[in-house]
Amino acid sequence: MPPPSITKLKRTSVSQPRLLNPTFSSSSPLHTQFPYHSSTLSQNHNPEPPGTLSPSIILSRKPSNGSHSSYYAHLLESCISRKAINPGKQLHAHLCQMGLGFNSYLATKLVNLYSVCRSLRDAHLLFDKIPKGNLFLWNVLIRGYAWNGPYEVAISLFHQMLGYGLMPDRYTFPFVLKACSALSAIEEGRKIHERVIQTRCETDVYVGAALIDMYAKCGCPGSARQVFDKIEVRDAVLWNSMLAAYSQNGHPDESLTLCGEMALTDLRPTEATFVTVISASADMAALPPGKELHGFSLRLGFESNDRVKTALVDMYAKTGSVKVARTLFEQLGEKRVVSWNAMITGYAMHGHASEALNLFEEMKRETLPDHITFVGVLGACSHGGLLNEGQTFFELMVREYHIDPTVQHYTCMIDLLGHCGRFGEAYSLIMQMKVMPDSGVWGALLNSCKMHGEIDLGELALEKLIELEPEDSGNYVILSNMYAKAGKWEGVARLRKLMIDKGIKKSIACSWIEVKNKIHAFLSGDTSHPNSDAIYAELKRLGGLMTEAGYVPGTGSVFHDVEEDEKANMVCCHSERLAIAFGLISTQPGTRLLITKNLRVCEDCHIAIKFISKITEREVTVRDVNRYHHFKDGICSCGDYW
DNA sequence: ATAGGGTTAG
């Protein structure tokens, strides 16, 4: 039996309610009031997923004894839960014919349907025709804009709603706060928080989680914590939002501490708990808590959870256990973009360029790479000094994948060109960027200038960097070292005065290592550690062995007023080397050493560490906690002239 | 009478 066409349905005798006619966007090829003729149905190239009610089935079940609001409500609910826009529009047209269009209960459901189907234009046009006394109607439309944008409209609707004398409820707040989060609109967010308190909604966990998220996205974890502390009956999601608030704002340690408190409650951690807190431990380059969380997640039955597993891949890769990361990566049931990206960037940040690029080739066959994939791929090229490959991938990204380069992609390219001494091309690339060059870009250029002694361009880069981040000492230090290397002491003096005038203090390089659950931190030339004597003795011993093995202390930093033998001494007391020496004398042979550094490891130390690994047959990983594409901190504290 | 918050790769 052929499906009944909507045009054949009986028209009611009631005068046509124009009020709620469905609207069709101008992009739709269908401009008639009844768009779904049987001919158009058969041309449907986008069939609904299996299990969806087809439009013909909906209408063939039309009750013969007249129309009941609850019957259509049921059908509309069915469309809403399936996000089935086309049958919904057909129902809408049908309701207009039936004369049920002015039923504001059903109309509200239609607004809801358009809203969940992201047809905000249709939702809003219909909304405009419905009496405004119904809070639910407002909530539905605000939700639509909070989920899909423009977010400003959600906030403006909220104010219009207040203008109508309606009181927002515990459903309204999460929606409008989500819009504030998306816009980082802190002033608006705080005003809404006041209203939450007036309305006595502050103990609702949904409202609370939305407030915490709003404060987190606006960079105010302290305010988020105040909200969290005021709520007495908490659920897992509330904890999760607070954990995320800390890790999104550079406090992974607080996130881990809070996770410990959560573990003391009766609440069962969820997938989001583990994803958040495992990534927090990756951010602080802390393997032991990460491993503990791994075990904890296994005990709670998250072994085959791919999202948790992806977070673990990222954590193990970042903390230097690239092989463990790869093993887990291979265990993934479904490899999504995030998983590929975590593994590729993991290889890139440890300088495993060929592994990163091989994996990228494999990925291309299975998944569509995104802009973050290319940050990893270009980062791998930049680490490996692969200029030609980098340029090819950059082209590929733009031409084949139609991805607009971001500052991060440009930073990698500037670094690549600069390190190869192609300053003309590097500079013209900066000039032709469609995005504003940030401190990462100029920092990459400055760092390259330092390597090649390009003083003029270096001065220009510093000028830009001073505009962008006047408080950052690292930039001055790099240029100062360049002046010193070229013997331009008046430049050194000028910069020193500039820093004093601006009241800028130099940041100090610090490295740390965890041994037996205790963190041991070292500054450059530090002698305050209880085992200091033994550490320096070990460094001296290593120095001898390294020289025998062919190591030549770095010529990267030149000391103008220090005797030759003292130079060698100073090169040996960079903070990462102190941490390594301590690790060597206080752990079992064969244990892997993970050192974390707050500034970028200098090239000389990188070479030295390779020698140390070889001589001692120990796996040594030094990880800087700065993002690897931030080249502005490419300094070692001993090489400075202050 | 219908609805809602948190999550990873740079």
- Tens of pLDDT, residue by residue over A96-144, are 777 765 678 888 888 999 899 998 999 999 899 888 889 999 999 999 9
Contact (Cβ atoms closer than 8 angstroms) between residue A289 and residue A281: yes
Would residue A387 count as lying in a domain? Answer: no
Residue nearest to nucleotide B4 (CA to C1'): A171
A628 CA: nearest nucleotide by C1'? B10
More confident residue, A622 or A386: A386
Q: Which of A267-276, A497-506, A601-610 has the highest mean pLDDT?
A: A267-276
Distance of A118 CA from B2 C1′ (whole Å)? 18
Mean pLDDT score across all residues of chain A: 81
Residue whose Cα is closest to the C1' of B5: A206
* Same-domain pairing of A471 and A519: no
Å from the A627 CA to the B6 C1': 25
* The two structure tokens encoding residue A370: 């995104």
What's the rounded mean pLDDT across residues A572-578?
81
Ramachandran region of residue A425, left (φ > 0), alpha (ψ -120 to 50) or beta? Answer: alpha
- Is A182 among the domain residues? no
Average pLDDT over residues A306-315: 96
Antiparallel, parallel or unpaired: β A518-523 and A593-597: unpaired
Q: Are residues A497 and A539 in the same domain?
A: no
Average pLDDT over residues A348-354: 90
| pLDDT confidence of residue A331 | 96
Structure confidence at residue A87 (pLDDT): 84
Of A366, A365, A401, the closest CA to residue A378 belongs to A401
Query: Which of A28-37, A52-61, A164-173, A550-559 is predicted with the least confidence, judged by mean pLDDT?
Result: A28-37
Is the confidence at residue A10, as pLDDT, over 60?
Answer: no
pLDDT of A363: 97
Beta bridge partners of A623: A596
Decide if A485 is inside a domain: yes
Q: Is pLDDT at A296 greater than 80 in this prediction? A: yes
The integer distance in angstroms from the CA atom of A102 to the C1' atom of B9 is 49
Residue A50's pLDDT band, with cuts at 50, 70 and 90, is very low
On the question of pLDDT at A244 being above 50, the answer is yes
CA of A280 to C1' of B8 (A): 10
A54 occurs within a structural domain: yes
Measured CA A381 to C1' B10 distance, in angstroms? 15
Residues A5 and A122 in one domain: yes
Residue A394 contacts residue A405 (beta carbons within 8 Å): yes
Q: Is residue A23 part of a domain?
A: yes
A588 in the same domain as A484: no
Mean pLDDT of A202-225: 96
* A452 and A525 in a common domain: no
Same domain, A488 and A556: no
Interval A356-380: pLDDT, tens? 999 999 999 999 999 999 999 999 9
pLDDT tens-place string over residues A174-204: 999 999 999 999 999 999 999 999 999 999 9
CB A439 within 8 A of CB A465: yes
Task: Report CA(A191)–C1'(B6) in Å, whole number.
Answer: 22
Q: What pLDDT score does A570 carry?
A: 52
Which range, of A145-159, A271-285, A459-473, A600-614, averages the lowest pLDDT? A600-614
pLDDT at A632 over 80: no
Nearest nucleotide to the CA of A274, by C1', is B7
- CA distances A628 to A49, A92, A225, A348, Å, are 43, 54, 30, 9
Distance A225 CA to B5 C1' (A): 15
Give yes or no: residues A60 and A18 share one domain.
Answer: yes
Which nucleotide has its C1' atom closest to residue A337's CA? B9
Strand residue runs (E) in A343-443: none
SS (H, E, C) A462-507: HHHHHHHCCCCHHHHHHHHHHHHHCCCHHHHHHHHHHHHHHCCCCC
Per-residue pLDDT, A628: 26
Q: How far apart are CA A599 and CA A477, in angstroms?
A: 13
The whole-number pLDDT of residue A610 equals 78
Q: Which residue is nearest to nucleotide B7 (CA to C1')?
A: A272
Say which nucleotide is closest to residue A407, CA to C1' distance. Answer: B10
Which nucleotide lies closest to A175 by the C1' atom and the CA atom? B4
Q: What is the H or E stretch that residue A518 is in?
A: strand A518-523
Mean pLDDT along residues A577-593:
86
Most confident of the following: A228-237, A484-493, A628-637: A228-237
What's the pLDDT band for A67 if we cut at 50, 70, 90? low
Q: Where are the alpha helices (DSSP H) in A218-285?
A: 221-230, 236-248, 252-263, 271-283
Residues A595 and A621 sit within 8 Å (Cβ to Cβ): yes
| Nucleotide lying nearest to A170, CA to C1' measure | B4
Same domain? For A474 and A542 the reply is no
Of all residues in chain A, the percent with pLDDT exceeding 70 is 81
Asked if residue A282 is part of any domain, the answer here is no
- Give the residue with minimal CA–C1' separation from B2: A109
Q: How confident is the model at residue A600 (pLDDT cuts 50, 70, 90)?
A: low
Residue A626 located in a structural domain = yes
Highest mean pLDDT among A12-16, A22-26, A622-626: A622-626
Mean pLDDT for the stretch of residues A404-420: 94
Confidence bin at A46 (pLDDT 50/70/90)? very low
Model pLDDT, residue A101: 59
Answer whether residue A86 shows pLDDT above 70: yes
A578 and A480 both lie in a single domain: no
Residue A8 CA and nucleotide B6 C1' are separated, in Å, by 49
Which of A145-149, A487-491, A619-623 is most confident?
A145-149
- Distance from C-alpha of A288 to C-alpha of A281, rounded to nearest angstrom: 9
Residue nearest to nucleotide B6 (CA to C1'): A241
Nearest residue for B8, CA–C1'? A311
Q: Smallest CA–C1' separation from A278: which nucleotide? A: B8
Nucleotide nearest to A311 (CA to C1'): B8
Nearest nucleotide to A106 (CA to C1') is B2
Q: Looking at the structure, do residues A9 and A109 belong to the same domain, yes or no?
A: yes
Query: Which among A104, A130, A156 is the end of a domain?
Result: A130
The H-or-E segment that residue A522 falls in is strand A518-523
Q: Can you tell me whether residue A515 is helix, strand or coil?
A: strand
Poorest-confidence range of A110-114, A303-307, A571-575, A634-638? A634-638
For residue A495, what is the domain's CATH number? 1.25.40.10
List the A532 CA – B7 C1' distance (angstroms): 43
* Closest residue by C-alpha to C1' distance, nucleotide B1: A105
Single out the residue in A502, A524, A541 at which a domain terminates: A502
Distance in angstroms, CA of A159 to C1' of B6?
A: 26
Q: Which domain holds residue A573?
A: 513-639
Distance in angstroms, CA of A532 to C1' of B9?
40
CA A512 – C1' B5 distance (Å)?
A: 38
The answer to whether residues A37 and A69 belong to one domain is yes
Tokens read off for A630? 């931030």
**% chain A with pLDDT above 90:** 46
Predicted pLDDT at A53: 46
Q: Which residue has the tokens 């009611």?
A: A12
A531-563 per-position pLDDT tens digit:
888 888 888 888 888 888 888 775 444 333 334
Q: How does pLDDT run across A322-336, given as a tens digit for each residue?
A: 999 999 999 999 999
State the nucleotide closest to A349 in CA–C1' terms. B10
Domain endpoint, select from A75, A96, A130 = A130
List protein-proximal bases of chain B (any atom < 7 A from a CB): 1-10
pLDDT at A534: 87
Total domains present in chain A: 3
Same domain, A525 and A628: yes
Bridge partners, residue A518, by sequence: A515
In a domain, A389, yes or no: no
**For residues A319 and A563, which has the higher predicted lDDT (pLDDT)?**
A319
Q: Are strands A593-597 and A510-515 parallel, antiparallel or unpaired?
A: antiparallel
